[in-house]
Amino acid sequence: MYIKKEIELGGKTLIIESGKLAKQSNGAVMVTYGETMVLVTAVASSEAKEDIDFFPLSVEYRERAFAAGKIPGGFFKREGKPTEKEILSARLIDRPIRPLFPEYYRNETQVAAFVYSYDTENDADVIAAVGASAALVLSNIPFLEPIGEVRVGRIEGNLVINPTESQIKLSDMELVVAGTADSIMMVEGEAKEISENELLEALIFAHQAIKKIVEMQLEMQKEVGKPKMEIIPPVIDENLVTDINALAFEEYKTLVATVLGKEERAEKNKELNTKVQEALAEKYPESEKIIAQVLHDLEKKLMRERILTDGLRLDGRNTTQIRPITCEIGCILRTHGSSLFTRGETQSLTTLTLGTKRDEQIIDGLKEEYTKRFMLHYNFPPFSVGEIGKYAGIGRREVGHGNLAERSLKNIIPPEGKFPYTIRLNSDILESNGSSSMATVCAGSLALMDAGVPVEKAIAGIAMGLIKEGDKYAILTDILGNEDHLGDMDFKVAGSVDGITGFQMDIKIQGISYEIMQKALEQARVGRLHILGIMNETIDKPKQSISQWAPVIDSFYINPESIGAVIGTAGKVIQKIQKDFNVEITIEEDGKVNIYGPQMESAVKAKKYIKLLVAEPEIGQIYTGKVKKIMEFGAFVEILPNKDGLLHVSQISHDRVEKASDVLKEGDEIEVKLIKIEKGKISLSRKVLLENPDKKKRKENSDKNETAE
């Protein structure tokens, strides 16, 4: 049955249609906002996968080039593997909907979003998330409640829902917020050092719009929603649970209260699991998975109880303590900057590379092609958690974590006019036990200063957790991996001493209150300042000079009308300069010339040559020129690159010269003076720079007469 609903949102109309397209899906909608359109489908298998202990959800987001009136580049002329933008957009859909499926739902489920129209102003990512929720709500898939998702900006102090691309450029914050009718489920974004209260204000503002989107979907569900699949929780033998508790309760209670390292705790858990499995194998055959699940739930319950009751965590810390931190810089030879940041059992080794304008990343997608001069790449090798795995390219998690760290640091990167280098940070996680993305932020900030990048201040990041049972809750500073896995929230906040620059929050329960968020933000602020204090003890301002291994750069401006003269026909002139002086040269539209060289000497020589190349000949100026061609009536002398003047035989010397070749030869370097420019033709003189012998003789005679008198 066809249905169409629309609401006003952020000054534009949001339209959701269903019942017309992709009708063999469990649920499908076309969402329109402005003139951007996204088709979203939701499909689930009819049978549950009995052999797994997780929810098999996959989310795909694809941008089609035709949506922006483009034909894809490359040989095949069709879309290829997902771009980084598509991966990040898929994560913005996945993260808020994943907690909203029943606990024991195990049917394979796939949400797919395809951008069919892009109006160049309204990004399709948040629209796709709304579509994903609507498709699930209208389907028979057991989705607990609808979500809304919006983007928020702030322009001249005014908050804006779903700002356009041009508005975002004027905004001092950009955040994507997803939530249900009652609470926030996900937050991600960046800002230019805003306060905790300003962020909370933006979240409350976003939630008002989210409520309208949720209400719209509930109305559609009432009219055309399908009956939901019934999910029957597995029945576990109570006698089995009793026997497991008799064997493991006290041991697990002791284990969660014992301070152990990550690997040692995993080994103790494994030993206890094996012991219980062996003890119950005969009485409860083929129950290994159930026993493992009950033991997992027991550990979770006891860990959470200890935190809520005693305020103590697995590693013995209280709820606000931060693990020991060490910082090092300059730890890798021949890199342009490097740092090692270690917090507990989480460690990031980050290197920084300075490049030229030509090293900028070209971004091609639905938007107009543009370049990035600051990049941060995050890598999470399997050995960082003591595992073996394939090295087959980066995964979605690595893309997401790297993007968060990059956004947290990007607003302190100096503008190109002040520091005209391309900057690449590479973070390798060598150990991981909680919040490696925030360790990357800290290590990246240290590496920037070590490399001499003129950043004004340091940036640190910290991850906050939550344990909540009913009305009782505890906020955890600097969470461990187990606290992330067994807890209810992962809230990452990065910033300087002056404010927040990056943030990401994921909730594993059906939302949290603003009171909890406010307390978490304040606790994160205190923790961030503590980390910044430790980082500043290692290095508190950028080094005065960049690495000797980094390319040298010299920048200056020429008249934009002279750019063609420097480039030459088919680039021949600029290519010759680069080859002769061993440099790289980039020229911008406003006439800015950047020269990159292995040593300053080569850059200075190239700069001098270019300045001569674009210089205008001046009457009365003296030049050192090279004789390029000898003629009977004189010689042509190159006084500036590609600029010749005529030195007539009468201007070569005070003595009579019959032929120029009697005095000069090609290749000679001589001093000449520019005496006339007529109709673009340059006339030179050498003799005006030479002493006139007749004049000299008359002066000598005059001097003798004066002496005699």
Q: What is the pLDDT of residues 165-211, one digit of tens each?
A: 999 999 999 999 999 999 999 999 999 999 999 999 999 999 999 99
Long-range contacts formed by 561-570: CB under 8 A, 24+ apart: 562/591, 562/613, 562/614, 563/587, 563/591, 565/613, 565/614, 565/642, 566/593, 566/610, 566/613, 566/614
Q: How far is residue 631's CA from residue 666's CA, in Å, rounded to a whole number? A: 10
Q: Work out the number of other CB atoms within 10 angstroms of the CB of residue 455.
A: 19
Residue 697 has pLDDT above 60, yes or no: no
How far is the C-alpha of 626 from the C-alpha of 605, rounded, in Å? Answer: 18
Helix (H) or strand (E) holding 648: strand 643-648
Kindly report, residue by residue over 23-47, the tens digit of the pLDDT.
999 999 999 999 999 999 999 999 9
Q: Residue range 480-506: average pLDDT?
A: 93
CA 488 – CA 303 distance, rounded (Å): 13
Residue 694 confidence (pLDDT): 60
pLDDT band at 704 (very low <50, low <70, confident <90, very high): low
Query: For residue 17, which phi and psi values (nearest 5 degrees)?
Result: -120, 145
Q: Tens digit of pLDDT for each residue in 284-316?
A: 988 888 999 999 999 999 999 999 999 999 999
How far CA 236 is from CA of 241, 245, 246, in Å, comes to: 8, 14, 16
Write the CB contacts of 52 (distance below 8 Å, at least 6 apart in sequence): 106
Does residue 706 have a pLDDT over 60? no
Residue with structure tokens 């209670």? 253
> Does CATH number 1.10.10.400 belong to domain 238-310?
yes
CATH architecture of 622-694: Beta Barrel (2.40)
- Helix and strand totals (H; E) in the chain: 15, 29
DSSP assigned state of 617:
P
Instruction: Average the pLDDT over 633-660 and give the result.
Output: 89
3-state secondary structure 247-261: HHHHHHHHHHCCCCC
pLDDT at 495: 97
Which of these ranges, 29-38, 133-142, 214-223, 286-295, has the smallest mean pLDDT? 286-295
Instruction: Tell me what pLDDT residue 232 has.
Output: 85
Q: What is the pLDDT of residue 327?
A: 97
% of the chain with per-residue pLDDT over 70? 97
The mean per-residue pLDDT over the stretch 613-640 comes to 89
pLDDT at 370: 86
Residue 45 phi/psi, 5-degree rounding, is -70, 155
Architecture of domain 3-224: 2-Layer Sandwich (3.30)
**Does 51 have pLDDT greater than 90?**
no
Q: What is the pLDDT of residue 364?
A: 84
Question: Is the pLDDT at 393 greater than 90, yes or no?
Answer: no
Q: In terms of CATH, what superfamily is 552-614?
A: K Homology domain, type 1 (3.30.1370.10)
User: Would you place residue 699 in the very low, low, confident or very high pLDDT band (cuts 50, 70, 90)?
Assistant: low
Distance of CA 476 to the CA centre of its chain: 27
Helix (H) or strand (E) holding 627: strand 622-631
Q: Alpha carbon of 127 to those of 42, 336, 399: distances in Å?
A: 15, 41, 21
Q: What is the pLDDT of residue 630?
A: 92
Per-residue model confidence (pLDDT) at position 349: 98
Residue 701's pLDDT band (boundaries 50, 70, 90)?
low
Q: How much is the pLDDT for 567?
A: 93
151 CB-near residues (< 8 Å, 6+ apart)? 123, 126, 161, 162, 163, 174, 175, 176, 177
Composition of the chain by helix, strand, coil, percent to 5: 35, 30, 35
Per the prediction, the chain carries an average pLDDT of: 92
Residue 702 pLDDT: 58
Residue with more model confidence, 538 or 690: 538
Please state the pTM of the whole predicted model: 0.86
> CA–CA separation, 525 vs 461, rounded Å?
9
pLDDT at residue 400 tops 60: yes
Q: In angstroms, rounded to a whole number, what is the distance separating the alpha carbons of residues 409 and 427?
A: 13
The residue-averaged pLDDT of 144-152 equals 97
Mean pLDDT value across residues 612-630: 89
What's the whole-number mean pLDDT along residues 329-354?
96
pLDDT at 77 exceeding the cut of 90:
no
- Tokens 């060289």 -> residue: 597
Range(s) for CATH 2.40.50.140 in the chain? 622-694
In this structure, which amino acid lies at residue 209?
A
For residue 542, name the pLDDT band (cuts at 50, 70, 90): very high
| Contact in structure between 616 and 604 (CB atoms under 8 Å) | no
The CATH classification number of 325-538 equals: 3.30.230.70
Backbone angles phi, psi at 533, to 5 degrees: -60, -40
DSSP 87-154: HHHHHHHHHHHGGGS-TT--EEEEEEEEEEE--SSS-SHHHHHHHHHHHHHHSSS---S--EEEEEEE
CATH 1.10.10.400 in the chain: give the residue spans: 238-310
Percent of the chain at pLDDT > 90 equals 72
**pLDDT band at 698; cut points 50, 70, 90:** low
Q: Which amino acid, residue 411?
A: N
Sheet arrangement for strand 472-477: 158-161, 148-155, 173-179, 184-194, 499-507, 489-496, 460-469, 472-477
Q: Where in the chain is the domain with CATH 3.30.230.70?
A: 3-224, 325-538
